[in-house]
Amino acid sequence: MEIYIDADACPVKESVFKVAQRYGIKVFVVSNHPKLTPKSDSIVSVVVEKTFDAVDDWISGQIKTNDLVVSNDVLLAERCIKKGALAIDPRGKILDENNIGEAVSMRELLSELRSRGDLTTGPKAMGKKHQSNFLANLDKVINQLKRK
């Protein structure tokens, strides 16, 4: 089992590092720009080209069954789930084969509403409750994957 972080706009990287270290899991931090990461053999920083979807393409090309991706990108999550992985967003929502279709549909609906001007606000800023939910569900999904 490995964890892949879509790192360019990920507010929970440090939390992932701590939890992964506790479980002895390798983490790939994938971004278009270099990111500061702790010095560790289990944390690998990967810098890809600055092209559209380069991070998504790299992650979805590497991820395997029973791996985990941490990302806000529902379409990346869908690609990873099709390869047998699970996904979790920074607010702690776990995405799998049972709910990814609904998440993709909701993304499309919200995109349509934004383009028509019917929706002008985004999600609330990350707070302590989101961080707590993320940590609880990260632990839950890691244990779920370890049992497989």
- Please tell me the distance from the alpha carbon of residue 4 to that of residue 2, in angstroms, as a whole number: 7
pTM above 0.95, yes or no: no
* Sequential pLDDT tens for the chain (148 residues): 999 999 988 999 999 999 999 999 999 999 999 999 999 999 999 999 999 999 999 999 999 999 999 999 999 999 999 999 999 999 999 999 999 888 878 767 767 777 777 766 766 788 899 999 999 999 999 999 998 7
- Are 48 and 30 in contact, with CB atoms under 8 Å apart? yes
The structural domains of the chain, ordered by start, are: 2-147 (3.40.50)
Q: Which residues pair with 5 in a beta bridge?
A: 29, 70
Q: How far is CA 132 from CA 74, 102, 112, 118, 139, in A?
A: 21, 24, 31, 31, 11
